[in-house]
Amino acid sequence: MSEHYRILKLRSDSPRVIEQLGSKQKFWFRMEGGDDQPWLFKFTRDNTGEDWSEKIASELAKLLNIPAAQVELATFMGKRGCASQSFVFTEKGFELVHGSEVLAGSLVKYEKSKQWGQNDHSIENIVKALEEIFPSRQRTQYLRILASYIILDALICNTDRHHDNWGVLRYHTQQGKTMHEIAPSFDHASSLGRELLDERRQAILDQNDIERYVLRGHGGIFLEKPAKKGENPLLLAINAARYWPNYFSPCLKRLKNVREEEIIGIVDRVPIEWMNTVAKEFCCRILTTTLKRLNEV
């Protein structure tokens, strides 16, 4: 078995803490002995698995060469959470523009405040808005990165890709020209069955009902405007890959080279004190199920 993931241990009296956010559920800090780029610590709510789902998603993204925020398991005053390194280099002039702002710039009367049930937040509108932002020579490169996020969501069953959970990085050249690039993927906590209690996980495993669970969830991106709920993450990736094969095929090809053992190894590296055997088995079954379906595209 591979070595467990490291656990960052933060102290309340540490000068590393640089900003406490209003909810007290997260705060920014700087890593001792690291570079100057800040990290965001987020407390894990009881019985949610939000910490290990974020960590596993981050490691899967790394395996698939998908740009994503670096995440580490962490504790603060003995309380569990995870730490995510900022990818917005403000000192270099970068700023994060959320998807809601991107779409509002492309669609007339787009409701930026409507985070859920926002059926204008469709895969077609997202692709169209980004095609408008990027110059033709960069368009394919960046849309392929976006497509890899959709595939990652499908793999991990991420149901939280609403319009503020993706974005672009904006900056200005020395000549004053405004430029954009796709921001790394972030906020993957609502994935991998982390919301279930062990009793429910075990029941689904005993009933061999994983695929039904995988296909039941709704995400934050819509396939068609008349729909009342966002499309299932796996079905969204499958349908989008058929409609935009040029954008989706590179990541799907990389996915075909991934072995189940590699995925299981990523899950196994979470310490048992953070993720018990039932949660690990359930998580692995989700990943092997979605991997198989995606490899059929």
**85 part of a folded domain:** no
Least confident of 199-208, 224-233, 270-279: 224-233
**15 part of a folded domain:** no
**277 part of a folded domain:** yes
Sign of CA dihedral 65, 141, 214, 54: positive
Residue with tokens 């467990």: 4
**255 part of a folded domain:** yes
**241 part of a folded domain:** yes
Q: Which domain holds residue 133?
A: 99-168+190-295
Q: Is the pLDDT of residue 43 over 60?
A: yes
Residue 160 and residue 157: Cα distance in Å, rounded?
A: 9
CB 43, CB 10: distance < 8 Å: no
3-state secondary structure of 209: coil
Pairing of strands 71-76, 7-10: parallel
- pLDDT tens profile 205-260: 999 999 999 999 999 999 987 788 999 999 999 999 999 999 999 999 999 999 99
Structural domains counted in the chain: 1
**223 part of a folded domain:** yes
Mean pLDDT of 137-152: 97
**222 part of a folded domain:** yes
- pLDDT tens profile 74-117: 999 889 999 999 999 887 889 999 999 999 999 989 999 888 88
CATH number of the domain residue 164 falls in: 1.10.1070.20
Stated pTM of the model? 0.94
Mean pLDDT of 14-27: 60
